[in-house]
Amino acid sequence: MPDTTEKRPEKEPAADARPRRRQARGERRIAQLLEAAASVFCTTGYTAASTNAIAREAGVSPGTLYQFFPNKEAIAIELGERLMHEMRETYSEALAPMDPATPLEEAVAAAVDRFIDFNCRHPVFFALMHGPDIPGRIAEEHDALHATLVSRVEALLSPYLPDTPGPDVARTARMCVGLYKAGLELVLAHEGEEREAYIRELKNVLYRYLEPLVMD
């Protein structure tokens, strides 16, 4: 989708016969560049990442990068959008409304497992969403994603907290997301058995935090 030219009337990948051929190489390049960007963002953060470094990492010239992205911000945005999309696609289930009969502990564990899995496979996600220096447009993306997350958690929580006032549920959801991020940081910082231990701790934290709130 990123395109230098102004007009890009198509968005869905169907029913456009012409601009196909170009996307053969192009689409691959875009993926390549996004991957490179992910790697560089992870290492240096958004602000300190240079487009030249991204191009180099992708093994192309700076000009090529700019054939697909109008500027540095757009790379981050596209990356964020793709991650967000994949997150929604693949893990909508992780936060899908569950059978209220599901024990809370199980629900929490399942959600954490899926998210951890996602985040371990996409470490940029965390990196991108954390820079204190990310420019406006990306922050918006981030906020949108965060809001989605929070509201999903809210929806997930609601059945368990039928008597809690709305604002409190919202606050609790925000806490959960925040706690998850904190745990994620620790999980990502460790490996092997220690990582597993942190995952268990994270589940504990969330479960114990929520447990007193739910009704029996």
Partner DNA sequence: GATGAATGAGGATTCATTCAT
Partner DNA sequence: TATGAATGAATCCTCATTCAT
Q: Which residues bind a second copy (CB under 8 A)?
A: 2, 4-5, 42-48, 56, 127, 130-133, 171-172, 174-175, 178-179, 181-183, 185-186, 194, 197-198, 201-202, 204-205, 208-209, 211-212
* CB nearer to a second copy: pick between 32 and 67: 67
3-state secondary structure 113-140: HHHHHHHHHCHHHHHHCCCCCCCHHHHH
Indicate which of DNA, a second copy, none lies near residue 53 (CB less than 5 to 8 Å, by partner kind): DNA
Between CA 180 and CA 201 the distance in angstroms is 11
CB atoms within 10 A of CB 51: 17
| C-beta separation of 36 from 57 below 8 A | yes
- Kindly list the distances between the CA atom of residue 25 and the CA atoms of 21, 53, 68, 97, 113, in Å, as whole numbers in the listed order: 8, 21, 11, 40, 36
Question: HSE of 155 in the Cβ direction (CA atoms, 13 Å)?
Answer: 13
Q: Can residue 26 be called a binding residue for DNA (CB under 7 A)? A: yes
- Which residues, 51 to 80, sit near DNA by CB under 7 A? 51-53, 60-68, 70-73
Write the CB contacts of 139 (distance below 8 Å, at least 6 apart in sequence).
none
Q: Can residue 145 be called a binding residue for DNA (CB under 7 A)? A: no
* CB nearer to a second copy: pick between 5 and 17: 5
User: x/- contact string, 156-175, with DNA (CB under 7 A)?
Assistant: --------------------
- E-assigned strands of the chain? none
Indicate which of a second copy, DNA, none lies near residue 18 (CB less than 5 to 8 Å, by partner kind): DNA
Indicate which of a second copy, DNA, none lies near residue 179 (CB less than 5 to 8 Å, by partner kind): a second copy
Between CA 191 and CA 80 the distance in angstroms is 25
Between CA 3 and CA 164 the distance in angstroms is 47
Indicate which of DNA, a second copy, none lies near residue 170 (CB less than 5 to 8 Å, by partner kind): none
Q: Can residue 42 be called a binding residue for DNA (CB under 7 A)? A: no
Interaction site with DNA (CB under 7 A): 18-19, 21-23, 25-26, 29, 48-53, 60-68, 70-73
